[in-house]
């Protein structure tokens, strides 16, 4: 049997803070059966750097192929760099998942692990779709429609994976709620892309004003759910702290990905609405 890991354990008591009951039941029982999770090392920094370079290269090549003034703008270049760094963390999680699965070890386990693996795979899919689109772009709106539909399909697959992770993750029920919110966010993004494709492809926006308003409402809802997932994430982290659950660094890396991607998404959407 595997050695007990130290990713879920009780923290020492804090002066003046009431001592919580120790964690018992399925959470600790499962933790005792898990192999030790990987400690952060130089290999993970190298994987993050490599992942960032891969995503950044794909987006930069797509920008060159599209020859768009917006793609060459400062705002787009800065956000692309930040997105690539965030996605690089996710790709690091994907690499770790592959290596540990080949070794027959459990991964992903914690909620943050799932965020890294699913988010990293989704980021890579987005970048590849964008590159293919940029290579075949012309004046026909058909390509824009196919691009958004491909993005929507990727988001729907991510939604399904996050619902699956909510069932498989190691942790109390409040983390299931968090992963459900993340899954719902991906579903709304897919709905937004489908609506955008329909209105842009088949209907003049000047005629279908009510439909366009519906699309704007979806954008606002996505912003709200971005904020909601951050609030739920912080609540879950405080609950973990209260019951003295300690998780590994890759779980925390997943939480950083959620926070940073939510803030960047909100900034981008606010920027586009102000144009």
Query: How confident is the model at residue 33, as a pLDDT?
Result: 44
Neighbours of 275 (CB within 10 A): 6
Cα distances (angstroms) measured from residue 246 to each of 6, 126, 240, 271: 8, 33, 7, 38
DSSP readout, 110-159? SHHHHHHHHHHHHHHHHHHHHHHHHHH--S-HHHHHHHHHHHHHHHHHHH
Contacts 24+ apart (CB under 8 A), 173-177: 174/235, 174/236, 174/239, 175/111, 175/236, 177/232, 177/236
Contact 234, 241 (CB under 8 A): no
Query: How confident is the model at residue 204, as a pLDDT?
Result: 46
Contact 34, 2 (CB under 8 A): yes
Q: Which two tokens stand for residue 137?
A: 């772009």
Residue owning tokens 């399904």: 160
Residue owning tokens 């768009």: 68
CA–CA separation, 78 vs 56, rounded Å?
A: 11
CA–CA separation, 23 vs 50, rounded Å?
A: 38
Mean pLDDT, 10 residues at a time, the chain of 275 residues: 40 42 43 59 88 85 66 77 90 88 82 92 86 67 73 91 85 87 90 73 47 66 87 92 84 92 86 71
Query: How confident is the model at residue 266, as a pLDDT?
Result: 86
CA–CA separation, 170 vs 107, rounded Å?
A: 11
Query: How confident is the model at residue 56, as a pLDDT?
Result: 87
Q: Which two tokens stand for residue 126?
A: 């987005």
């Amino acid at each position: 049997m595997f050695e007990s890991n130290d990713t879920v354990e009780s923290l020492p008591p804090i002066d003046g803070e009431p001592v919580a009951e120790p964690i018992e039941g399925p959470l600790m029982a499962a933790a005792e059966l898990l192999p030790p999770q990987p400690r952060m090392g130089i290999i993970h920094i190298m994987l993050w750097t490599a992942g960032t370079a891969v995503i950044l290269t794909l987006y930069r090549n797509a920008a060159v192929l599209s020859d768009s003034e917006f793609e060459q703008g400062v705002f787009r270049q800065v956000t692309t760099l930040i997105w690539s760094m965030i996605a690089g963390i996710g790709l690091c999680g994907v690499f770790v998942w592959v290596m540990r699965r080949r070794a027959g070890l459990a991964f992903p386990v914690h909620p943050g692990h799932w965020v890294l693996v699913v988010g990293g795979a989704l980021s890579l899919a987005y970048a590849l779709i964008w590159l293919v689109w940029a290579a075949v772009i012309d004046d026909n709106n058909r390509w824009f429609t196919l691009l958004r539909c491909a993005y929507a399909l990727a988001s729907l697959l991510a939604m399904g994976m996050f619902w699956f992770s909510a069932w498989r993750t190691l942790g109390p029920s409040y983390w299931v709620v968090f992963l459900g919110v993340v899954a719902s966010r991906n579903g709304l993004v897919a709905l937004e892309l489908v609506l955008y494709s329909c209105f842009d492809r088949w209907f003049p926006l000047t005629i279908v004003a009510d439909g366009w308003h519906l699309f704007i409402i979806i954008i606002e809802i996505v912003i709200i759910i971005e904020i909601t997932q951050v609030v739920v994430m912080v609540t879950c982290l405080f609950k973990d702290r209260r019951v003295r659950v300690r998780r590994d660094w890759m779980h925390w890396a997943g939480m950083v990905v959620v926070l940073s991607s939510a803030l960047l998404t909100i900034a981008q959407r606010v920027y586009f609405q102000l144009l």
